[in-house]
């Protein structure tokens, strides 16, 4: 019992491990060979294996508990909020993809005005363009990005509808 008491502060665990050790010793008593060592060493060998098995099982249990600890049932309004956040994340990813596909000159205008917050006149000075050119590129590029966002949203809705018709849901 002292072997397990040094390894665990829980008296119930100590008692269980001690009992498991003696059950194993009684079960495998016929396998004991006094020529290989003392009975005490044999029982400590069993205790070591019982403790190793306990540690492995305990570790797996703790891992499963950690995985489950962040999960909980959501209220309907929380589910709706989560779905909205997922949609926003997808839209943001689509926007970044669309921005990276833009020609450098158009992307630079969007980055300076819409992301960095410069006024079109300031962006024009930074790019060495006239303010009218920057406003025109800004208008055309925003329209192109909006059109692509609408297209991506339609494709997503179409895919969802197909999955619902086929019965492929994540419920």
**CATH number, position 101:** 1.10.10.10
Same domain, 101 and 142: yes
The stretches of the chain forming alpha helices (DSSP H) are 2-5, 11-27, 39-69, 76-101, 104-110, 120-127, 131-166
State the Cα–Cα distance between residues 54 and 56, nearest whole angstrom: 5
Same domain, 159 and 119: yes
pLDDT (tens place) for every residue of the chain, 171 residues total? 788 888 888 899 999 999 999 999 999 999 888 998 888 888 988 999 999 999 999 999 988 888 877 667 778 888 889 888 988 888 888 888 898 899 999 999 999 999 889 999 999 999 999 999 999 999 999 999 999 989 888 888 887 777 667 665 554
Instruction: Please report the pLDDT score of residue 69 as a whole number.
Output: 75
Kindly state whether residue 171 falls inside one of the protein's structural domains.
no
Instruction: Please report the pLDDT score of residue 8 as a whole number.
Output: 86
What range does the domain containing 131 cover? 76-166
Select from 69, 95, 123 the last residue of a domain.
Answer: 69
Number of domains in the chain: 2
Tokens of 15: 């008692």
Kindly state whether residue 62 falls inside one of the protein's structural domains.
yes
Provide CB contacts within 8 A for 148, sequence distance 6+. Answer: 94, 98
Same domain, 85 and 157: yes
Q: Give the count of beta carbons closer than 10 Å to the beta carbon of residue 141.
A: 22
Same domain, 80 and 25: no
Burial classification of residue 89, based on how many CB atoms lie within 10 Å of its CB (0-12 exposed, 13-18 middle, 19 or more buried): exposed
> In degrees rounded to 5, what are phi and psi of residue 168?
-85, 85
State the Cα–Cα distance between residues 118 and 97, nearest whole angstrom: 22
Predicted structure pTM score: 0.48
* Cα separations in angstroms, 89 against 10, 79, 93: 46, 15, 6
Same domain, 112 and 45: no
Instruction: Please report the pLDDT score of residue 67 as a whole number.
Output: 80
Same domain, 83 and 162: yes
Same domain, 63 and 86: no
Same domain, 63 and 89: no
Instruction: Please report the pLDDT score of residue 171 as a whole number.
Output: 46
Same domain, 34 and 51: yes
Same domain, 9 and 49: yes
Select from 69, 85, 104 the last residue of a domain.
Answer: 69
């Amino acid at each position: 019992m002292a072997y397990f008491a040094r390894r665990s502060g829980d008296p119930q665990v100590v008692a269980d491990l001690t009992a498991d050790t003696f059950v194993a010793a009684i079960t495998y008593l016929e396998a004991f060979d006094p020529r290989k060592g003392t009975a005490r060493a044999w029982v400590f060998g069993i205790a070591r294996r019982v403790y190793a098995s306990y540690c492995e099982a305990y570790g797996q249990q703790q891992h499963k508990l950690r995985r489950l600890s962040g999960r909980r049932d959501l209220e309907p309004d929380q589910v709706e909020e989560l779905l909205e956040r997922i949609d926003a994340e997808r839209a943001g990813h689509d926007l970044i993809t669309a921005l990276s596909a833009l020609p450098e000159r158009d992307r630079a205008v969007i980055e300076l005005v819409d992301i960095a917050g410069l006024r079109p006149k300031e962006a024009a000075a930074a790019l060495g363009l006239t303010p009218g050119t920057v406003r025109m590129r800004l208008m055309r590029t925003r329209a192109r990005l909006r059109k692509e966002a609408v297209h991506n949203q339609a494709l997503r809705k179409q895919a969802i509808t197909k999955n619902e018709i086929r019965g492929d849901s994540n419920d």
